[in-house]
Amino acid sequence: MRSMILRGSVACASISLLAACVGEPNAPAACEPMTWTVASVSGDTTITNTGLRFIEGTAGVAPQADWCKALAFHYEGFLLDGTLFDSSREIDRPLIFTPGFGGLIDGIEQGVIGMGTGGTRRLIIPPELGFGSEPRRNAQGEIVVPGNSTVIYDIEVLEVAQ
């Protein structure tokens, strides 16, 4: 299964998990953090000023994910009706990337910030931080994420670079 959340190539493919993470090959030359702040909290849901919503699960341990700092995580992506459309667990290989290099959809890049090793979080990503108006298709050409879809990602951080 090809990951739906990737924008380009992910350079980090070695597992220590992060021993060989050296940067993003199809990304800007420098890390460019996205700024966001907590706009409000409603029950267990945090809402950012960019429109990302998230629900904390398990608190992770230090160090915490931050911009320009590599991390490894497992994820599962769902449509609002509960349909699973993407999963790193399905291929039993975590995704390794560095937030701020633009390698993933904005909702994931923003959503992992502040998570620690072992932490879990549910991200509720609006279309403008996810896949936008264009539908996403699988290798067979079938639409797996309709255009303008809000998507949900369950994230589990496995390791954060020191």
Q: What was the pLDDT predicted at 29?
A: 66
Can you give the residue ranges of every domain in the chain?
Answer: 38-160
pLDDT tens digits, one per residue of 30-43: 899 988 999 999 99
> Domain 38-160: which topology?
Chitinase A; domain 3 (3.10.50)
CB neighbours of 122 closer than 8 A, spacing ≥ 6?
54, 55, 57, 152, 153, 154, 155
Residue the block writes with tokens 């959503």: 111
Structure-block tokens of residue 110: 């923003």
Percent of the chain whose predicted confidence (pLDDT) is above 70: 82
Considering only residues 123 and 89, tell me which one the structure prediction assigns the higher pLDDT. Answer: 123
